[in-house]
Amino acid sequence: MRWLAIALMLWAAPLWAVEPNEMLDDPALEERAREISQLVRCPVCQNESIDESHATVARDLRVIIRERLVAGDTDQQVLDYLSARFGEFVLLTPPRDGANLILWLAAPAMFLVALGIGWAAIQRKPKAADEGLSQDEQAELDKILNS
Protein backbone atom coordinates (compact mmCIF):
# COMPACT_ATOMS: atom_id res chain seq x y z
CA MET A 1 0.00 0.00 0.00
CA ARG A 2 2.95 2.35 0.37
CA TRP A 3 3.35 2.24 -3.37
CA LEU A 4 -0.23 3.34 -3.72
CA ALA A 5 0.24 6.24 -1.33
CA ILE A 6 3.30 7.49 -3.21
CA ALA A 7 1.47 7.23 -6.46
CA LEU A 8 -1.42 9.22 -5.09
CA MET A 9 0.91 11.95 -3.86
CA LEU A 10 2.56 12.25 -7.24
CA TRP A 11 -0.85 12.84 -8.63
CA ALA A 12 -1.30 16.29 -7.24
CA ALA A 13 -0.63 17.99 -10.57
CA PRO A 14 -3.79 19.59 -11.92
CA LEU A 15 -5.28 17.26 -14.43
CA TRP A 16 -8.19 19.21 -15.62
CA ALA A 17 -9.48 21.81 -17.93
CA VAL A 18 -11.84 24.46 -16.52
CA GLU A 19 -12.15 23.92 -12.76
CA PRO A 20 -15.30 24.78 -10.81
CA ASN A 21 -13.46 27.18 -8.50
CA GLU A 22 -12.26 29.40 -11.33
CA MET A 23 -15.68 29.87 -12.85
CA LEU A 24 -17.52 33.17 -12.58
CA ASP A 25 -20.88 33.45 -10.88
CA ASP A 26 -22.38 35.54 -13.65
CA PRO A 27 -23.44 32.94 -16.26
CA ALA A 28 -23.36 35.42 -19.16
CA LEU A 29 -19.81 36.51 -18.32
CA GLU A 30 -18.74 32.91 -17.74
CA GLU A 31 -20.17 31.93 -21.12
CA ARG A 32 -18.12 34.68 -22.76
CA ALA A 33 -15.03 33.55 -20.86
CA ARG A 34 -15.51 30.01 -22.16
CA GLU A 35 -15.92 31.24 -25.70
CA ILE A 36 -12.77 33.33 -25.50
CA SER A 37 -10.75 30.57 -23.92
CA GLN A 38 -11.59 28.32 -26.86
CA LEU A 39 -9.85 30.86 -29.08
CA VAL A 40 -6.65 30.93 -27.05
CA ARG A 41 -3.87 28.40 -27.37
CA CYS A 42 -2.15 26.99 -24.35
CA PRO A 43 1.46 28.24 -24.68
CA VAL A 44 3.14 25.12 -23.29
CA CYS A 45 0.85 22.41 -24.62
CA GLN A 46 0.80 20.87 -28.01
CA ASN A 47 -2.06 22.26 -29.98
CA GLU A 48 -4.64 22.55 -27.23
CA SER A 49 -6.80 25.52 -26.38
CA ILE A 50 -6.66 26.73 -22.80
CA ASP A 51 -10.26 25.61 -22.49
CA GLU A 52 -9.17 21.98 -22.94
CA SER A 53 -5.75 22.12 -21.36
CA HIS A 54 -4.76 20.81 -17.95
CA ALA A 55 -1.57 22.85 -17.71
CA THR A 56 -1.04 25.36 -14.95
CA VAL A 57 -0.31 28.20 -17.34
CA ALA A 58 -3.58 27.50 -19.15
CA ARG A 59 -5.35 27.88 -15.84
CA ASP A 60 -3.57 31.17 -15.22
CA LEU A 61 -4.67 32.42 -18.62
CA ARG A 62 -8.25 31.38 -17.94
CA VAL A 63 -8.16 33.32 -14.70
CA ILE A 64 -6.69 36.38 -16.46
CA ILE A 65 -9.48 36.24 -19.06
CA ARG A 66 -12.07 36.25 -16.32
CA GLU A 67 -10.36 39.11 -14.51
CA ARG A 68 -10.32 41.20 -17.69
CA LEU A 69 -13.98 40.43 -18.33
CA VAL A 70 -14.94 41.41 -14.81
CA ALA A 71 -12.95 44.62 -15.32
CA GLY A 72 -15.25 45.36 -18.26
CA ASP A 73 -13.10 44.50 -21.30
CA THR A 74 -14.75 43.50 -24.57
CA ASP A 75 -13.91 40.08 -26.03
CA GLN A 76 -11.55 41.63 -28.56
CA GLN A 77 -9.79 43.67 -25.86
CA VAL A 78 -9.18 40.49 -23.88
CA LEU A 79 -7.67 38.76 -26.91
CA ASP A 80 -5.51 41.81 -27.68
CA TYR A 81 -4.38 41.89 -24.06
CA LEU A 82 -3.33 38.24 -24.23
CA SER A 83 -1.55 38.47 -27.56
CA ALA A 84 0.30 41.61 -26.43
CA ARG A 85 1.69 39.73 -23.45
CA PHE A 86 2.09 36.18 -24.71
CA GLY A 87 2.59 36.80 -28.42
CA GLU A 88 0.57 36.12 -31.51
CA PHE A 89 1.21 32.43 -30.91
CA VAL A 90 -1.61 32.16 -28.37
CA LEU A 91 -4.28 33.23 -30.86
CA LEU A 92 -5.83 30.15 -32.46
CA THR A 93 -7.46 32.37 -35.07
CA PRO A 94 -4.61 33.77 -37.16
CA PRO A 95 -5.12 37.54 -37.49
CA ARG A 96 -6.29 38.59 -40.93
CA ASP A 97 -3.41 40.89 -41.78
CA GLY A 98 -0.07 40.95 -43.61
CA ALA A 99 1.11 37.64 -44.97
CA ASN A 100 -1.75 35.87 -43.22
CA LEU A 101 -4.04 37.21 -45.92
CA ILE A 102 -2.52 34.54 -48.15
CA LEU A 103 -3.73 31.92 -45.70
CA TRP A 104 -7.23 33.34 -45.52
CA LEU A 105 -7.60 34.00 -49.22
CA ALA A 106 -5.91 30.83 -50.46
CA ALA A 107 -9.00 28.66 -50.23
CA PRO A 108 -11.45 30.97 -51.99
CA ALA A 109 -8.83 31.74 -54.65
CA MET A 110 -8.10 28.07 -55.15
CA PHE A 111 -11.80 27.36 -55.39
CA LEU A 112 -12.27 29.96 -58.13
CA VAL A 113 -9.28 28.63 -60.07
CA ALA A 114 -10.55 25.06 -59.70
CA LEU A 115 -14.01 26.10 -60.86
CA GLY A 116 -12.44 27.76 -63.89
CA ILE A 117 -10.38 24.69 -64.75
CA GLY A 118 -13.37 22.43 -64.15
CA TRP A 119 -15.57 24.61 -66.36
CA ALA A 120 -12.98 24.51 -69.13
CA ALA A 121 -12.67 20.74 -68.80
CA ILE A 122 -16.42 20.24 -69.02
CA GLN A 123 -16.73 22.41 -72.10
CA ARG A 124 -13.77 20.97 -73.93
CA LYS A 125 -14.90 18.54 -76.56
CA PRO A 126 -12.61 15.56 -76.86
CA LYS A 127 -11.11 14.78 -80.24
CA ALA A 128 -13.31 12.30 -81.98
CA ALA A 129 -10.41 10.87 -83.95
CA ASP A 130 -9.60 7.23 -83.59
CA GLU A 131 -6.31 6.82 -81.76
CA GLY A 132 -5.27 3.83 -83.84
CA LEU A 133 -2.66 1.40 -82.65
CA SER A 134 0.49 2.38 -80.86
CA GLN A 135 3.83 1.43 -82.35
CA ASP A 136 4.25 -1.45 -79.95
CA GLU A 137 0.78 -2.74 -80.62
CA GLN A 138 1.35 -2.48 -84.37
CA ALA A 139 4.59 -4.40 -84.00
CA GLU A 140 2.86 -7.06 -81.95
CA LEU A 141 0.07 -7.31 -84.49
CA ASP A 142 2.56 -7.63 -87.35
CA LYS A 143 4.34 -10.36 -85.48
CA ILE A 144 1.12 -12.30 -84.96
CA LEU A 145 0.02 -11.83 -88.55
CA ASN A 146 3.40 -12.82 -89.94
CA SER A 147 3.87 -15.88 -87.81
Partner 1 sequence: MLIELAHFCLILAFAISIVQMIVPLVGAHKNWRGWMALAEPAATSQVILVGFAFAVLTWAFVVSDFSVQLVYLNSHTDKPLIYKISGVWGNHEGSLLLWVLILAIFGACAAWFGDDLPARLKARVLAVQAAVSVAFYAFIIFTSNPFVRLEFAPLNGRDLNPLLQDPGLAFHPPLLYLGYVGLSMTFSFAVAALIEGKVDAAWGRWVRPWTLAAWMFLTVGIALGSWWAYYELGWGGFWFWDPVENASFMPWLFAAALLHSAIVVEKREALKSWTILLAILAFGFSLLGTFIVRSGVLTSVHAFANDPERGVYILAIMVIFTGGSLALFAIRSAALEAKGAFGIVSRESALVLNNILLAVSAFVVFIGTMWPLIAEMATGRVLSVGPPFFNAAFTPFMIALALALPIGSMLAWKRGSIKRTAKSLVGWAVLAVAIGLLAYAVQTGRSALGPVGMALGVWVVGGALTDLWSRTGRGGVPDRVRRLRRLPRADWGKALAHFGIGVTFLGVAGILARETEDIRVAQIGESYQVGAYEVTLADVRQERGPNYVTTIADVAIERGGQSYVLQPEKRFYPVAQMPTTEAAIRNGFLRDVYAVIGDPQEGGGYAVRLYIKPLANWIWGGCILMALGGLLSLSDRRLRVAAGAAKAKTVPAE
Q: Which residues bind partner 1 (CB under 8 A)?
A: 3-4, 6-8, 10-11, 13-21, 23, 38-39, 41, 45-49, 52, 87-95, 98-100, 103-104, 106-107, 110-111, 114-115, 118, 121-127, 131, 134, 136
In whole angstroms, what is the distance from residue 144 CA to residue 32 CA? 80
Shortest spacing between CB 97 and partner 1, in angstroms? 10
Closest to partner 1 by CB, 71 vs 111, is 111
Count CA atoms closer than 13 A to 7's CA, side-chain side. 4
Closest to partner 1 by CB, 70 vs 115, is 115
In whole angstroms, what is the distance from residue 45 CA to residue 127 CA? 57
Task: Report how far Cα 110 is from the mean position of its chain's Cα atoms.
Answer: 19
Shortest spacing between CB 58 and partner 1, in angstroms? 13
Shortest spacing between CB 71 and partner 1, in angstroms? 23
Closest to partner 1 by CB, 21 vs 76, is 21
Which residues, in sequence order, are CB contacts of 68 under 8 Å at separation 6+? 77, 78, 81
The maximal CA–CA distance of the chain, rounded, in angstroms, is 96
